[in-house]
Amino acid sequence: MSTHAHQQPEFESTCPNCNSSISYDQKHGESACAECGIILREDAIDHGPEWNGYTATDRKDRSRVGRPTTPTLHDRGLSTQIGWQNQDSYGQALSARQRHKMERLRTWDERYRAGIGRERTLKQALAEIHRMVSALGLPQAVRETACVIYRRALDDDLVVGRSIEGIAAGALYAAARQQELPRTLEEMTTVARVDRRRISRDYRRIASELGLAIEPTDPTAYLPRFASECDCSITVQRQARDLLETVAGTTYMSGKSPVGLAAAALYAGAHLTDEPLTQREVSAVADVTRVTIRNHYRELLIHAGHMSPEQTQTAARGEIGD
C-alpha cells in the first residue's frame, strides 16, 4: 500500500565493512548492509505511518485527534490524572473542605488507574516485555506487536494458571518472528525470567490459540547477526546465503531447526572460502552443538553440489574442494 513510500533508504553512505553502498533495511528495522549483512544500527527509528491500526475500527477511523493510542501502556496512554495542585480551574486556592474532597478523589483515582486484578498483571507484563525488548535490542514495532499479542492472550484467558513471564516471553518471541526479526529461543532465555521450555510451550499455545499465522523462520534471517558476531567476511555470509537458498523449499529444510541450518551454512561458507572459522566459534554464537553444525554442513555442501555423497569420507582429509 503506502509502504513503498518508506522503502527508500533515508540516508546514503557506504558500508564501513565492504565499502559498497548501504541499502537500509527499513522493513526489518535493523539497518544491515545488503551486501555484507553487517549490522550498522539496530535501534532504527520507525519511519512508518504514525497511525497504526490494531483493530478494524482503528484503521477505518483515523480522524481522531491527539497522539495515537499505544498498546505498550496498560491504559493505552489514554487516562488522565487528577492534578496535584489544590487549585480550581481559575487558579484560586481551594477551601479546606474542597481540599479534603480532592484528597479523597485522588486516592480513588490512583486506585482506579493503578488497576485492580488483571489490569495490574497487564501492567506487569507490559513492563516485562519492555525490559526484554530493550535487552534484546529490538525495535519499537516488535514491542508493540508483542503487547498486542499479550493483550489478546489475556482476553482469551490464556494467562490463567500460567506465569506472566512465560506468556510475556512467548508473546515477544512470536512478535519478533512475525516482524521477521527472530531471536532464538536461547537468546530469549538469556533475558527472560523463565526457562527455554516454558517460553517455547507458551509461545506455541499463544500461536495456536490465537491463530497467529507464523511461518517457520527463514534461516537466512539469522545470518547477519551470526556473521557479525563471528567477525566473518562479506563473502562468507553471501556464500552461506547461497547455500541456504539451494536447500530452500526442499524437503531437507522441513523439520530442521533454522538456527542449526544458519550456523552450519555460515561454517560451510567460511570453509568454502578458506576463511578461518571454527565450529566452536559458530556453535558459541548460534547456541547449537558442533555435531549439529557438521551434520548440516555436510548435507548443505552435498545439496549445493560442492561435495558428492561418496566424498563424505575424504572431505575431512582435505582431498576435495577448490
Chain positions contacting DNA, by CB under 7 A: 196-197, 200, 204, 255-257, 260-261, 271, 277-280, 287-292, 294-298, 312-313, 315-317
Residue number with CB closer to DNA (3 or 289)? 289
Residue number with CB closer to DNA (168 or 199)? 199
Q: What does the block give as the cell for 305?
A: 553440489
Q: What does the block give as the cell for 61?
A: 477511523
Residue number with CB closer to DNA (66 or 255)? 255
Residue number with CB closer to DNA (71 or 219)? 219
Residue number with CB closer to DNA (229 or 287)? 287
Least distance (Å) between residue 250 CB and DNA: 12
Least distance (Å) between residue 203 CB and DNA: 9
Burial of 61 (0-12, 13-18, 19+ CB in 10 A): exposed
Least distance (Å) between residue 291 CB and DNA: 4
Return d(Cα 196, Cα 119) in angstroms, integer: 27
Residue number with CB closer to DNA (24 or 203)? 203
**Can you point out the beta strands (E) in 77-224?**
none
Q: What does the block give as the cell for 48?
A: 512508518
Return d(Cα 117, Cα 190) in angstroms, integer: 29
Return d(Cα 320, Cα 219) in angstroms, integer: 27
Residue number with CB closer to DNA (36 or 199)? 199
Q: Which amino acid does the sequence have at 268?
A: A
Nearest to 297 by CA among 274, 261, 264: 264
Least distance (Å) between residue 22 CB and DNA: 31
Least distance (Å) between residue 118 CB and DNA: 29
Task: Report CA-CA distances (Å) from 216 to 16, 184, 223.
Answer: 32, 12, 16
Q: Which amino acid does the sequence have at 6?
A: H
Contact criterion met (CB below 8 Å) for 258 and 281: no
Least distance (Å) between residue 143 CB and DNA: 24
Least distance (Å) between residue 185 CB and DNA: 7
Nearest to 239 by CA among 217, 214, 264: 264
